Structure 1
Amino acid sequence: MSRKQVFQFLELPREMPRRIPLELRTAGDWGELYGKFAHAEAAYQSGRCLDCGNPYCSWKCPVHNAIPQWLQLVQENRILEAAELCHSTNPLPEVCGRVCPQDRLCEGSCTLNDGFGAVTIGAVEKYIVDTAFERGWRPDLSEVQPTGKRVAVVGAGPAGIACADRLARAGIHAVVYDRYEQIGGLLQFGIPSFKLDKSVIARRRAVLEGMGIEFRLGVEVGRDVTLEQLLEEFDAVFLGTGAYRYTDGGLPGQEAEGVLPALPFLVQNGRIVSGIAQDGTAAMGRPIAGWEDRIKLPDLAGRRVVVLGGGDTGMDCVRSAIRLGAARVTCAYRRDEASMPGSAREVANAREEGVRFLFNRQPLAIESDADGRVTGVRMVETRLGEPDARGRRVAVPVEGSESVIDTDVVIIAFGFSPELPAWASALGIEGTPNGRIVTGGDGRLPYQTTHPRVFAGGDAVRGADLVVTAVAEGRDAAQSIAELLGAQPPVRTPQYAEAVA
């Protein structure tokens, strides 16, 4: 390796792809914020990698991507091979390249992150897969031998999709059930389009169907089909049912008109941006099942909006409210900025777009007028006390510091948790007191539930977490299912991964 290659990080600064101008972001534009690298830009940024021997970026990544190896392949313009290598560890690399909090994962662990700026790993990952698809790359299953085995996957979110992908690579026919009318789960409806354009999900669906995976959408397990029926028809079942149970903050007055839970707000807005009308019909006029469980969005144009919560869901809410024309958007979080669980990059984007942040503020109650419409949030200032059982410092209210933030709309983003379905517990599948499905242990395979032919992974098992952790668990659960059914391992790392290491 030449001196120029070794010290390229000194000559080339860290750069991200070009972004949509600020004036367009705040005027209702839902396009992806970040553009795509040209090859020269991707190669330059890839060349900044030190290939440091002990790749902290790979270890920090939940799916343990072979990051230094595919960065080198990009430099050599071996994009199709890079895409193959990306998929060897990650069934959804183009999604993770867009929505992962790289600043907390791979890029945050990059050796160059302190002082020089981390390699732009996420943007390069996005470039690799998008470019490979444009050049006609598709997964090569020509050597896969069909086993005759069939598996039902419940949930078409990231865990379910990842599991189905790996099952197909093991020669197992996967049939994916989902109550929504499109695949992706929260990738489709919960994550706004300015972070993940929905054409990405549509393309991935076409790829998965090309692999032989079957989708049965608008079908709800427990209502339209029973788990018993699935176990009769299939050799095994995977549950990737996610975490949709609203975390109720128990705030006095939260029943007031204008108080919205975050996830239904994002789901409804995602449907509308995708061309689904407020009355619950798709663009072609077909009614959507289960619409009665959804909320009707208020018009945010010119309104004052307060979002309670500082995670990535909260950032999605504040940035969506900006694009919906809100006059003032405030994010209130009970700890300091350094303690926020969301991506620092998302916080920076929100602040740039005009979101006001109030740190060390804890909500006490929602205030409303005589007609029951929200008028404000009563808050108290906090200071950070001793760490709790999870190691996070407790927010301690400061006596005499109460105040009221005037607002027209409140969005509560305190998080979401899983809930063990009644139809699962009825068949002896055990859950924890907080609704998580119990897997592994007591001689069971990884991700195997207390029913021997039912497996589970993702948020339904670990609680609300990152897309990439759900992908990792769906991928690894497929490995256990393949072992149970006597199939070969779902995927092997390509031989050229070692050649470029």
Structure 2
Amino acid sequence: MQQKGPSGPQGFVVQPRRLPKAEASVRVQDFGEIIVKPTTENVEVQAGRCTDCGVPFCQNACPLQNNIPDWLGLSAEDEMREAWRIASATSTMPEICGRICPQDRLCEGSCTLNQSGWEAVTIGSVEAFIGDTAFDNGWVEPIRPLHERAQSVGIVGAGPAGMAAADRLREQGYQVTIYDRHDRPGGLLIYGIPGFKLEKRVVQRRTDRLAEGGVEFVLNCEVGKDVTLDQLRDKHDAVLLAMGVYQARALQAPGAGPGSTVAALDYLIHQNRRDLGEQDGGWHHAEGRDVVVIGGGDTAMDCVRTAVRQGAKSVTCLYRRDRDNMPGSAREVANAEEEGVVFEWLGAPKALMSKGGSTSAVRAARMALSEPEFGKRRDIVPVPDGDFDLPADMVIEALGFEPEAFAAHSPELSLSQWNTVAVARGGFATSLPGVYAAGDAVRGASLVVWAVRDGQDAAAEIDRYLKAQAEGVAA
């Protein structure tokens, strides 16, 4: 199973998987991306490992259904511009997804090589390289619609779903305005994801492209507070709700209260603002402190790795299940362990201990997994006399996020049983005419790549709706 590569016979047997990372001792010194940018030759070799299998499992596992084998093959032959054309046809932000998607759970996890005992192709690294190369060479064309349309769309939320929808709608000539509560567009891409996974310049050039293409951003504007949903409906021909979910789940334990813990998103936002050059005197800093992060998702991994870079004395991740059952990416866990994070698996917070009015430790209960049952997730049960204490003068809660009070936006807006925005089956239309919803506002907290997919698909549905409206008026 060989492929002809740019420098002679190449293939997964001859060429091992290589994804160069900076050494842990070096990369924890700053917030730069940890993946070392590959050379064109490296990319050609790694892309050339693709077996071009008959059934592209990598593509099927990708929420965007990216044509991965096609752009891998083109990259292997140094046809980067054509690879970019194919990659950008299905994704509005390949260079971002290539960096932050959990490829180990998606495309690379489903790669035929991975399934048959060989290491997967470095799909994410190649995708990011294609996108970076396109920007560096001016192949990312500005948005210039063939025809301008008088109809306008208001988008609530400048995160990945809102940005993806704005890109597609502006290309169709609609007048697009994005409203966001923050002072910069980008949502969690800017303020939630640390620079060592996604440097801010990568997001900035995407938002710049939207602005230069005619998308208007109204920032520091919170829907429900600074403007109502009804006002947006009156102003625009269609509205897309893509505000994500930001309401943090709170720790329910004795000793937990105001000032005893730090919310994960607050912690990450403060550090990201500093990375953007802001000086915030009240920000949270882990230097010299014993830090315990409670939770096991990707946000928890972002927090523990941020604490290490801030110079924490010790960093421990406390998670109630074991490694095999944690929701976060296995790749991120491995990165965190390399950087010195200690994981306390099968440990659930029981109480916060204090000394002198400040948190001093987390008391945790040792847990065990119940016996497996077919079709059910294993429960966790306390181990008798298994309590233990973790020194902690800084506790970060990373227990996940829930929808905010969407009902306050409009009493006629139907919600699901999980308090996310309810949409029509197989679509994005809400209970309000002309109002659509996409991304985490509908799914709950999920992956960026799903938000991009939803934003693009919602834009297509809004396009059909507005064209039908225009034809009705013309008739």
| Alignment TM class, shorter chain as reference | over 0.9
Aligned partner of 1:485 among 463, 466, 470:
466
Contact 2:145–2:171 (8 Å) recurs in 1? no
Judged with a 3 Å threshold, the aligned counterparts in structure 2 of structure 1 residues 217 and 94 are, in CA distance, closer, same or farther, namely same
Deviations 1:300-351 (A, max 9, x none): 2111001111110010000000011101000111111111111111111100
Between the aligned partners of 1:23 and 1:347, the Cα distance in structure 2 is 16
Between the aligned partners of 1:110 and 1:417, the Cα distance in structure 2 is 33
Judged with a 3 Å threshold, the aligned counterparts in structure 2 of structure 1 residues 250 and 387 are, in CA distance, closer, same or farther, namely farther
Between the aligned partners of 2:104 and 2:468, the Cα distance in structure 1 is 37
Deviations 1:12-67 (A, max 9, x none): 00011x3233223233x011111222111111111100110110101111111000
The answer as to 2:431 corresponding to 1:429 is: no
SS in 2 for 1:242: coil
Between the aligned partners of 1:363 and 1:301, the Cα distance in structure 2 is 23
Residue identity matched to 1:455: Y
Aligned-pair CA distance for 1:77: 2.0
Between the aligned partners of 2:398 and 2:46, the Cα distance in structure 1 is 36
SS in 2 for 1:10: coil
Aligned-pair CA distance for 1:436: 0.3
Contact 1:420–1:431 (8 Å) recurs in 2? no
Query: Which has the higher mean CA deviation after the structures are superposed, 352-361 or 207-216?
Result: 207-216
Unaligned runs of 5+ in 2: 470-475
Instruction: Specify the alignment match of 2:444 in structure 1.
Output: 463
Unaligned runs of 5+ in 1: 280-295, 489-501
Aligned partner of 2:353 among 343, 346, 367:
367
Judged with a 3 Å threshold, the aligned counterparts in structure 2 of structure 1 residues 258 and 389 are, in CA distance, closer, same or farther, namely farther
Between the aligned partners of 1:448 and 1:408, the Cα distance in structure 2 is 47
Judged with a 3 Å threshold, the aligned counterparts in structure 2 of structure 1 residues 391 and 174 are, in CA distance, closer, same or farther, namely farther
Instruction: Specify the alignment match of 2:335 in structure 1.
Output: 349
Instruction: Specify the alignment match of 2:166 in structure 1.
Output: 164
Q: Higher RCO, 1 or 2 (CA under 8 Å, sep at least 6)?
A: 1
Instruction: Specify the alignment match of 1:408 in structure 2.
Output: 393
Judged with a 3 Å threshold, the aligned counterparts in structure 2 of structure 1 residues 232 and 257 are, in CA distance, closer, same or farther, namely closer
Contact 2:160–2:189 (8 Å) recurs in 1? yes
Give percent identity, aligned residues only.
46
Contact 1:307–1:410 (8 Å) recurs in 2? yes
Between the aligned partners of 1:202 and 1:461, the Cα distance in structure 2 is 26
Residue identity matched to 2:166: A
Instruction: Specify the alignment match of 1:496 in structure 2.
Output: none
SS in 2 for 1:367: strand
Between the aligned partners of 2:31 and 2:233, the Cα distance in structure 1 is 42
Trace 1:143-292 onto structure 2 (pairs within 5 A).
144-255=146-257, 257-279=259-281
Instruction: Specify the alignment match of 1:62 in structure 2.
Output: 63
Between the aligned partners of 1:381 and 1:465, the Cα distance in structure 2 is 28
Contact 2:348–2:364 (8 Å) recurs in 1? yes
The answer as to 2:82 corresponding to 1:85 is: no
* TM-score, normalisation: structure 1: 0.89
Contact 1:256–1:373 (8 Å) recurs in 2? no
* TM-score, normalisation: structure 2: 0.93
Aligned-pair CA distance for 1:398: 0.8
Aligned-pair CA distance for 1:141: 5.2
Judged with a 3 Å threshold, the aligned counterparts in structure 2 of structure 1 residues 275 and 7 are, in CA distance, closer, same or farther, namely closer
Judged with a 3 Å threshold, the aligned counterparts in structure 2 of structure 1 residues 475 and 387 are, in CA distance, closer, same or farther, namely farther
Contact 1:171–1:487 (8 Å) recurs in 2? no
Aligned-pair CA distance for 1:402: 0.8
Instruction: Specify the alignment match of 2:434 in structure 1.
Output: 453
Aligned-pair CA distance for 1:211: 2.6
SS in 2 for 1:104: coil
Residue identity matched to 1:217: L
Aligned-pair CA distance for 1:143: 6.5
Contact 1:252–1:366 (8 Å) recurs in 2? yes
Query: Which has the higher mean CA deviation after the structures are superposed, 151-160 or 78-87?
Result: 78-87
Deviations 1:216-236 (A, max 9, x none): 112222222222221122110
Deviations 1:353-395 (A, max 9, x none): 00011111111111112x3210111111111115699832111
Between the aligned partners of 2:236 and 2:375, the Cα distance in structure 1 is 40
Query: Which has the higher mean CA deviation after the structures are superposed, 71-80 or 461-470?
Result: 71-80
Between the aligned partners of 2:3 and 2:71, the Cα distance in structure 1 is 21
Aligned residue-pair number: 465
Between the aligned partners of 1:361 and 1:117, the Cα distance in structure 2 is 32
Query: Which has the higher mean CA deviation after the structures are superposed, 162-171 or 323-332?
Result: 162-171
The answer as to 2:301 corresponding to 1:318 is: no
Query: Which has the higher mean CA deviation after the structures are superposed, 193-202 or 18-27?
Result: 18-27
Instruction: Specify the alignment match of 2:472 in structure 1.
Output: none
Deviations 1:431-455 (A, max 9, x none): 12432000013xxx71100002100
Deviations 1:451-471 (A, max 9, x none): 021000111101001110111
Contact 1:256–1:368 (8 Å) recurs in 2? no
Aligned partner of 2:380 among 360, 371, 395:
395
Contact 1:388–1:394 (8 Å) recurs in 2? no
- Report the aligned-residue RMSD: 2.0
Residue identity matched to 2:16: P
